[in-house]
């Protein structure tokens, strides 16, 4: 893998930028962000300014040529089909299948692929379709050359902050 500049991050499924908030505090710089929801992009850019502008593409259509090389890529992909509160269609569901769009981007980046990735979702990812989804998803990440592990974090252990 080619090494891009230190502590740079590409933020997929950027939403209103909660991932960026945490990473910036830890010294990371977001150089690319993507989300297809116009209202969320507006909130993101209201908070962080327009640099980088959040690209509006559907992850399934995003052209890898527009994605810069970074050290880290984050993916807070949709949980609608994984959450215990939903119909649990899993990673083939209309929304959560966006995970595979992220995998496609990494595949197409080839040697430019970031050395680190961070996937964030609900615990239902580990149990949907009786675990078959995670048994398919984690090896897909392995095949791209990443060591991968899943762990559960309790959000109540972290301090609250607010976006203006
Ligand atoms: C779980 S939310 C991410 C929350 C984010 N971490 C935040 O701070 O708001 C998932 C995001 O993925 C976006 N999204 C859903 N499907 C997408 C797709 N096919 N392509 C790009 N973005 C998508 C949604 O608009 C939503 O903002």
- Alpha-carbon distance of 80 to 96, in angstroms, equals 6
Residue 77 Cα to ligand 1 middle (Å) = 6
Which residues have C-beta atoms less than 6 Å from ligand 1?
A: 13, 15-19, 34-37, 40, 58-60, 76, 78-79, 95, 98, 101
Radius of gyration of the chain (CA): 15
| CA angle at 20 for the pair 11 and 41, rounded to the nearest 5° | 65
Q: Per the omega criterion (within 30 degrees of 0), is the bond before 52 cis?
A: yes
Do 88 and 82 contact (CB within 8 A), yes or no?
Answer: yes
Q: For residue range 20-76, list pLDDT tens digits in order.
A: 999 999 999 999 999 999 999 999 999 998 888 999 999 999 999 999 999 999 999
Q: Is the pLDDT of residue 161 over 80?
A: no
> Poorest-confidence range of 72-76, 83-87, 101-105?
83-87
More confident residue, 74 or 160: 74
What does the pLDDT read at residue 156?
Answer: 83
Model confidence band, residue 3 (pLDDT cutoffs 50, 70, 90):
low
pLDDT of residue 164: 59
Q: Which domains does the chain have, with CATH numbers?
A: 8-157 (3.40.50.150)
Question: Average pLDDT, stretch 75-98?
Answer: 91
CA distance 90 to 23: 28
The rounded distance, in Å, linking the Cα atoms of 60 and 25 is 30
Nearest protein CA to atom 27 of ligand 1, as residue: 15
Structure-block tokens of residue 51: 């640099």
pLDDT of the residue at 58: 98
Average confidence (pLDDT) over 11-27:
95
């Amino acid at each position: 893998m080619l090494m891009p500049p230190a502590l740079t991050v590409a933020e997929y499924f950027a939403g209103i930028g909660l991932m960026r908030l945490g990473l910036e505090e830890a010294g990371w710089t977001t150089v690319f962000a993507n989300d297809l929801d116009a209202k969320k992009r507006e909130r993101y850019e209201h908070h962080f300014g327009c640099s980088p502008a959040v690209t509006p593409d559907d992850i399934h259509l995003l052209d890898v040529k527009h994605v810069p090389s970074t050290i880290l890529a984050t993916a807070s992909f949709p949980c609608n089909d994984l959450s215990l509160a939903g119909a649990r269609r899993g990673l083939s569901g209309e929304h959560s299948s966006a995970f595979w769009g992220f995998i496609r981007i990494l595949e197409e980046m080839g040697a430019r692929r970031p050395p680190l990735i961070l996937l964030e979702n609900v615990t239902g990812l580990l149990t949907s379709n009786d675990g078959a989804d995670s048994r398919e998803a984690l090896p897909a990440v392995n095949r791209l050359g990443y060591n991968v592990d899943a762990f559960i974090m309790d959000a109540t252990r972290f301090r609250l902050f607010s976006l203006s």
